[in-house]
Amino acid sequence: MSMREFKDTGQYFHNGIIEMFVKDKQLQKQMREEFTQKPEDFRERMMYIEATAQGLQQKDGAYFNTSSKKQATDEEMEKLFKATDDAMLRQNPKMVEHNLQFKDGFIIPLNFKEMIEKNEGGI
């Protein structure tokens, strides 16, 4: 088997694995719960960044709008949680450790070429 055939076969099987990840709703739910909440210190950092970007600041365990000086509304908090979850899925170091990425709304393995390059610079 030539190197090209080997890589083509690997890509074929990798695509099948990605399809299994996408179709498994329970797995997606479990991974989403895990990677949006942990590591906790990273989530706190992402929440701080997203809050600042939205004009919110945490004080005494509550969030306040920096413009109005009033406590953040339910809508503002929902927007903050969603933005933090999105940031966690895009930048979570634990996902990188596990060779995963968030793409098109799904947590899936890195693409085949990236995995080959990550593992000792190729096959």
0.85 exceeded by pTM: no
pLDDT at 121: 53
pLDDT in tens, the chain (123 residues): 787 887 888 888 989 999 999 999 999 999 999 999 999 999 999 999 999 999 999 999 899 999 999 999 999 999 999 999 999 999 999 998 999 999 999 999 987 767 666 665 544
pLDDT at 122: 47
- Name the one residue in this structure whose structure tokens are 């989403």: 32
What token pair was written down for 9? 């076969």
Q: Could you tell me if 70 and 64 are in contact, meaning their C-beta atoms sit under 8 angstroms apart?
A: yes
pLDDT at 51: 97
From 81, 95, 77, select the one nearest 35 (Cα to Cα): 95
Size of the chain, expressed as the number of residues it contains: 123
What token pair was written down for 17? 């694995």
